[in-house]
Structure 1
Amino acid sequence: MSNIVNTLLNDNLVNLKPYESARRLFAGGQDWLNANESPFANEYSIDSERFNRYPACQPEAVTAAYADYAGVDISELLVTRGADEGIELLIRTFCTPGEDNILICPPTYGMYAISAETCNVGVKKVPLKPDFALDTQAICAQNDVNLVFICAPNNPTGTTVDPADLEQILTHFADSALVVVDEAYIEFDKDNTRAGQLTRYPNLVILRTLSKAFALAGLRCGFTLANRPVIQALLKVIAPYPLAEPVAQIAEQALSVAGRTKVELQVETINRHKHWLQEQIAALPGFSITGDTRANFVLFHSIHNKALMAYLVEHGMLIRDQSKQHNLEGCLRATVGNEAQNQRLISLINDFLQQTGVSA
């Protein structure tokens, strides 16, 4: 067999472990509560009349609608194939392979590091404090980074960022690095968005997505908000046609007045189910809530972590094991599903506890 792959493979990819997405970890399941997806599936219409034409690089119907939604100027926005493409574009645009570094604050979203490693860009790590707050002093001590990634609300801890901490970081890196605030879950914590601070901080970048609250994970549509010079630089690197025509059509409908109203109502429902799920888990023996619940999931610690996870998988209930993340040993993360899914999760946990001889 030819050894051409091993011969040609980039050196920085030899030991790279790909991101363990929900679909890569498990081939099937009855209840998918491990990818922070919305339990809602909304209806949209598609017009195939323009499918024979290449789409616009930045379809104005989408960019104008999202700029209005986010409260920014259309020149301060870039639409991408999910927020993941925004992450990759930032690294490819502002980091030189083999020379520059990004900074992340684990435990946090895994794609920041993987995107950097794929591009042969270094990854500096400043872990969150035990209470999952930013270690601002340690972050500001890292002066050889081009991008600082901060997830707020953070995945998987569900925590937000202290405004004073973020302001200190933005000010410290004003002339040396872009500070990227990932607001993928901001609809569940809307009072803490930083979108209104773009004019104040030229080095502030915000990532958004339609995957979570907008219930469009399958669409792969994200947004990067930043000052115009940053957006113009990203446009040098982005693919010619990043947004497929059907995606643009659905995104435009989702961002209509009716679409936004529907999202607000669905977020209220998810938050209501989330508080119920949180209360139920917190009342279980050997369980405790970890972090905060400012997103669409509940992170919890269980002394039965491994055995419980195996039991749930066996019964088609898929949640996410976060034990390998920094400072999250024994922790599991459950996405908020619909009422029936949430009740089934609690029922299965109670069944597990009974079988193991623990009184629930």
Structure 2
Amino acid sequence: MSIAQKLQREHLAEVVPYASARRTMSGGSVWLNANESPYSNDYQLNSDNLNRYPAFQSTELNQSYAEYAGVNEQQVMSCRGSDEAIELLIRAFCEPGSDQIIVCPPTYGMYAISAQTHGAAVKQIPLRTADWQLDLEALLPALQQTKLVFLCSPSNPLGNTLASADIQQVLETAKNTLVVVDEAYIEFCPDATLATWLERYPNLVILRTLSKAFALAGARCGFALANSDIIEVLKKVLAPYPLPDLTVQVAVQALSRTGLQRLQQQVSSILEQRAQLLQQLSALPMQIVADSDTNFILLQVDNASELIDYVKQQGVLIRNQSAQVGLAECVRISVGNNTENRQLIAALNSFYGESL
């Protein structure tokens, strides 16, 4: 046994790290496995202050995002992607070894992994498979013993949104529980946002990111939106300089009038490509699992591993979701640009042509 194995916290011996798209797959020329934007945009960077530490919280960035999200600046905290916000929520509000969080699988895996890393328990209350909505009959009674409940809407990996009436019932039932709604994909269905609910519900937290629709996955910029008392507690466990100066510069430009106009144009293009892709996929022997309100599509196939290996040989990377609760033999495909989607369809047609 190595010294690291001897000295690590006991519970970490059983923790399996998150298998990100970049960590588990490499190669290929068409990356449709990480729900990234197919667009790469140019930004102007100023290096004058790179010899100085950045601000703990950039006033310019937080004001820009507050205006964009329709909240006030005191309700915004910027951080290194929404992944860091998940981590901070658990570190700030869950006592190791005694508190638990609730997740509703199939859902984003980092909620559970962040809790396990910190020593918090994870209670799973799966979505109803009939409609992929919250199982309120099972969820509501469990809220009284829980510090945090994570609700992913729009869902990753399903792609659908959760019923707002159900989330409202959770908020009203769990007055002593933080209800964290992950809106990483909200730009693809902006009418579904719950940001306007912050004034009504002191226990609501909303997670946002610039990684998806804003095409800034490499910049690592995310936000927690909550009432100021929650934000102040989160800041107690936030690193002294969470966002690099270059990230702040890029994020502010992305949130400018020009940047937001470009965002709308690119979202519209992705939605058009999604509609075309859905039509093409409907001609193949695969089944759409849920209606998508995002930039990806979840499909059930006969043999997920075989399909993924085959299209990878054609240079196309897609994501296996078969390990998720209720998603046996399911693959997730990000919507690319027209060229990437045509390469995907060609690879799929070739696979099914050879398998028939």
Bin of the TM-score, shorter chain as denominator length:
over 0.9
- Inter-partner Cα distance in structure 2 for 1:315 and 1:350: 11
Tell me the equivalent position of 1:167.
Answer: 168
Figure out how many residues of one structure are paired with residues of the other and give that number.
354
Q: Distance in 2 between matches of 1:50 and 1:3?
A: 43
CA deviation profile, 1:230-255 (whole Å, cap 9, x unmatched): 00111111000001000000001000
| CA RMSD of superposed structures (Å) | 0.9
- TM-score where L is the length of structure 1: 0.97
Aligned to 1:64, what secondary structure does the other structure show?
helix
Taking the aligned partners of 2:303 and 2:346, their CA distance within structure 1 comes to 16
Matching residue of 2:21 = 22
Query: Deviations for 1:63-96, whole angstroms, at most 9, x for unmatched residues?
Result: 0000000000100010000000000000000100
- Report the more deviating stretch, 34-43 or 286-295: 286-295
> 1:121 maps to which residue?
120
Partner of 1:133: 133
Q: By how many angstroms is 1:163 displaced?
A: 1.3
Where do 1:277-288 residues align within 5 Å? 277-284=277-284, 286-288=285-287
SS in 1 for 2:240: coil
TM-score (norm 2): 0.98
Cα offset for 1:303? 1.5
1: distance between equivalents of 2:26 and 2:38?
19
Could you tell me how far 1:164 is from its partner in structure 2?
A: 1.1
| AA at the equivalent of 2:69 | A
Identity %: 49
- CA-to-partner distance for each residue in 1:131-187, whole Å, 9 max, x for gaps? 21111121111121100000000000011011110111000101x210000000000
Distance 2:221 2:200 in 1: 27
1:108 shift after superposition: 0.3
Structure 1 gaps of 5+ residues are none
1:222 maps to amino acid: G
Describe the SS at the equivalent of 1:235. helix
Note if 1:274 corresponds to 2:298. no
Which residues of structure 2 form unaligned runs of 5+?
none
Q: Equivalents in 1 of 2:341, 2:2: separation in Å?
A: 49
Aligned-partner residue type, residue 337 of structure 1: G
CA distance, structure 2, for counterparts of residue 170 and residue 137 of structure 1: 15
Supply the AA of the counterpart residue of 1:213: A
Q: Distance in 2 between matches of 1:196 and 1:137?
A: 26
Work out the CA distance in 1 between the residues paired with 2:121 and 2:229.
24
What amino acid is the match of 1:162? A
> Corresponding residue for 2:53?
54
Q: CA deviation at 1:3?
A: 2.3
Q: Which residue of 1 aligns with 2:354?
A: 355
SS of equivalent residue, structure 1 residue 218: coil
Q: How is 1:198-217 mapped onto 2 (pairs within 5 angstroms)?
A: 198-217=198-217
Partners of 1:258 and 1:158 lie apart in 2 by: 28
Do structure 1's residue 145 and structure 2's residue 146 form an aligned pair?
yes
Deviation at 1:310, TM superposition (A): 1.3
Distance 2:137 2:44 in 1: 50
Separation in structure 1 between the aligned mates of residue 298 and residue 279 of structure 2, nearest angstrom = 12
Shift of residue 304 of structure 1? 3.5
Kindly indicate whether residue 245 of structure 2 is the aligned counterpart of residue 245 of structure 1.
yes
> Superposed, which structure 2 residues align to 1:266-345 within 5 Å?
266-284=266-284, 286-345=285-344
Cα separation, 2, equivalents of 1:274 and 1:27: 24
Q: Give 2:161's aligned amino acid.
A: T
Q: Distance in 2 between matches of 1:316 and 1:273?
A: 20
Give the equivalent residue in structure 1 for 2:96.
97
Structure 1 residue matching 2:236: 3-state secondary structure:
coil
Aligned to 2:111: 112
Q: 2: distance between equivalents of 1:51 and 1:219? A: 16
Separation in structure 1 between the aligned mates of residue 164 and residue 82 of structure 2, nearest angstrom: 23
Residue 226 (str. 1) matches residue 191 (str. 2): no
Amino acid at match of 1:139: L
Distance in 2 of aligned mates of 1:47 and 1:113: 38
Higher mean alpha-carbon deviation, 24-33 vs 162-171, is at: 24-33
SS of corresponding position for 1:344: helix
> By how many angstroms is 1:355 displaced?
1.2
Superposition deviation, residue 27 in structure 1: 2.4
Secondary structure of the residue aligned to 1:333 is: strand
Q: Does 1:260 align with 2:260?
A: yes
Q: 1:306 offset after TM fit, Å?
A: 2.5
Give the Cα separation in 1 of the matches to 2:152 and 2:194.
Answer: 12
**One-letter code of the match for 2:137?**
Q
Structure 1 CA distance, aligned partners of 2:292 and 2:28? 25
SS in 2 for 1:138: helix
